[in-house]
Amino acid sequence: MAETKTVGVVGNGQMGSGIAQLAALHGLHVWLLDTDPDALSKARKSVTSNIHRLVSKGHLSQAAFNDAVGRLYCTSKLEELREADFVIEAIVESEDVKKKLFLEVDKFVKSSAILASNTSSISITRLASATSRPSQVIGMHFMNPPPIMKLVEIVRGADTSDETFYATRALAERFGKTVICSQDFSGFIVNRILMPMINEAIHTLYTGVATKEDIDTGMKLGTNHPMGPLELADFIGLDVCLSIMKVLHAGLGESKYAPCPLLVQYVDAGRLGRKRGIGVYDYRKTPEQVKPSARL
């Protein structure tokens, strides 16, 4: 398979903009695509300013900055992805919405292109079944934030070819990531283990066992986690956590994966975490509350 030169990143929220940044910094031409024009311009701004920060810190030359930013293109049209060798989808965590997108992308990109999903939990096999190229569909699960976190979890669907796997692994390694490989079962490796822990932390809060601060401090100092589970849930996005719990519950069929009612209520109330200024914690008030850890 030819080397990847052009990447399309579909969905430019928290994850997509970080993936686009990585790709631009590693010499690729990058098409950013989002249906929301505000998200697209915010993503372009954040990618540009994050790369510029590397120049300010002396980690990158001005010429390399100009090159990376010059390889970023924004669009809202799938037709523009026709030159892409590799498309990474990072839209909302909904199987129906992702399937619809895969069906459409499949029509516009060249026949050799690989279609990867950054899904946290949804079946790659089912996303692949919406396309005419299931052997070229794969899960490429970056962690948040993609430029910082070292891991990429690669998920092979039932029909993913070895060629697709090797090309995806080569791309992740080009980004400097360590790769782990999972079979295609709900939640894969990382979220199969992480999300029930976050859900249990929310249950611990819901049932009045402890305050949110004590739950997070307990897990940070008691188990050496860098962030408490509630703080992490806000960072990931409570809507994303809820979607993943629903996928685990439906896919693995055990009541232990049922989302905590308090998680459901937070999402119903629009308390989605840091991105909305309020989740388990309220980030809108005093400067100390911007960082829960500052109170501990």
Binding site residues for NAD(+), as ranges?
A: 11-16, 34, 93, 98, 120, 144, 275
Catalytic-role residue among 17, 153, 199, 243: 153
Helix 37-56, helix 14-25: angle, nearest 10? 50
When asked if residue 14 is in the footprint of ligand NAD (CB under 6 A), the reply is yes
Rounded Cα distance between 251 and 134, Å, is: 20
When asked if residue 236 is in the footprint of ligand NAD (CB under 6 A), the reply is yes
The neighbour count for residue 90, using CB atoms within 10 Å, is: 26
The answer to whether residues 155 and 184 touch, using CB atoms and an 8 Å cutoff, is yes
Which of the residues 113 through 152 are near ligand NAD (CB under 6 A)? 118-120, 141-144
153 is catalytic: yes
DSSP string for 198-248:
HHHHHHHHHTTSS-HHHHHHHHHHHH--SS-HHHHHHHH-HHHHHHHHHHH
Q: Indicate the residue type of 188.
A: F
Q: Indicate the residue type of 250.
A: A
141 is catalytic: yes
> In whole angstroms, how close is the CB of 259 to ligand NAD at the nearest point?
15
When asked if residue 88 is in the footprint of ligand NAD (CB under 6 A), the reply is no
Q: Which region, judged by CB under 6 A, interacts with ligand NAD, from 21-29, 30-38, 49-57, 249-257?
A: 30-38
Rounded Cα distance between 271 and 265, Å, is: 9
> In whole angstroms, how close is the CB of 155 to ligand NAD at the nearest point?
12
CA 290 to chain CA centroid, Å, is: 22
When asked if residue 95 is in the footprint of ligand NAD (CB under 6 A), the reply is no
Query: Which one, 39 or 64, has the nearer CB to ligand NAD?
Result: 39
Of the candidate residues 187, 229, 237, 292, the single one contacting ligand NAD (CB under 6 A): 237
Rounded Cα distance between 11 and 40, Å, is: 8
120 is catalytic: yes
> In whole angstroms, how close is the CB of 248 to ligand NAD at the nearest point?
12
Counting every residue written for the chain, the total comes to 296
When asked if residue 259 is in the footprint of ligand NAD (CB under 6 A), the reply is no
Q: Which region, judged by CB under 6 A, interacts with ligand NAD, from 158-166, 175-183, 235-243, 247-255?
A: 235-243
The answer to whether residues 20 and 39 touch, using CB atoms and an 8 Å cutoff, is no
Binding site for ligand NAD (CB under 6 A): 10-16, 33-36, 39, 90-93, 97, 101, 118-120, 141-144, 236-237, 240
Residues with a known catalytic role: 120, 141, 153, 191
